[in-house]
C-alpha cells in the first residue's frame, strides 16, 4: 500500500468518525432524518476506506472482525437509504440504534 493510499484511508476514517459524532448529536436531539444521513455517511466513509461493500461483508462481517448484527444493521440502513424508504430507516434507528450506538468504533475500525 502506498503512502497516498494510507493517507486517503486515514482521511476517510477520520471523516467517518466525524459523521458518527454528528449522527449521535442529531439522534440525541430526536432529529432522525439528519441522524440517518450522518450515520449513513459514517458507514459509507468507513466502508469506502476499507473497500467496496461486498468485500466489507466478506472480509469483515463474515470474517468475524465485525459483529453480524452491526453488518446487518449497516446493510439494512444502506438498502433503505438507497430506496428512499425513510419510514423504514426511522424504524431501524428506533429499534436498533441503542444496540449499535455504543459500538460504532467496532463498525468503523475492525
Chain segment 34-84, per-residue pLDDT in tens: 998 898 888 888 887 777 677 878 888 888 888 888 888 777 777 776 566
| Lowest mean pLDDT across 3-7, 65-69, 95-99, 102-106 | 102-106
pLDDT at residue 102, rounded to an integer: 55
3-state secondary structure at position 106: helix
pLDDT at residue 38, rounded to an integer: 92
Non-local (6+) Cβ contacts of 89 within 8 A are 32, 36, 77, 80, 81
The pLDDT confidence band at residue 107, using thresholds 50, 70 and 90, is very low
pLDDT at residue 108, rounded to an integer: 43
Q: Would you say 61 and 71 are in contact if contact means Cβ atoms under 8 Å apart?
A: yes
The model carries a pTM of 0.53
pLDDT at residue 4, rounded to an integer: 84
Amino acid at each position: 500500500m502506498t503512502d497516498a493510499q494510507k493517507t486517503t484511508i486515514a482521511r476517510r476514517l477520520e471523516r467517518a468518525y466525524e459523521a458518527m459524532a454528528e449522527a449521535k448529536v442529531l439522534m440525541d436531539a430526536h432529529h432522525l432524518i439528519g441522524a440517518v444521513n450522518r450515520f449513513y455517511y459514517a458507514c459509507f466513509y468507513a466502508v469506502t476506506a476499507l473497500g467496496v461493500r461486498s468485500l466489507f461483508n466478506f472480509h469483515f462481517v463474515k470474517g468475524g472482525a465485525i459483529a453480524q448484527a452491526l453488518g446487518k444493521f449497516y446493510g439494512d440502513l444502506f438498502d433503505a437509504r438507497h430506496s428512499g424508504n425513510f419510514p423504514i430507516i426511522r424504524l431501524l434507528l428506533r429499534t436498533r440504534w441503542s444496540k449499535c450506538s455504543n459500538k460504532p468504533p467496532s463498525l468503523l475500525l475492525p
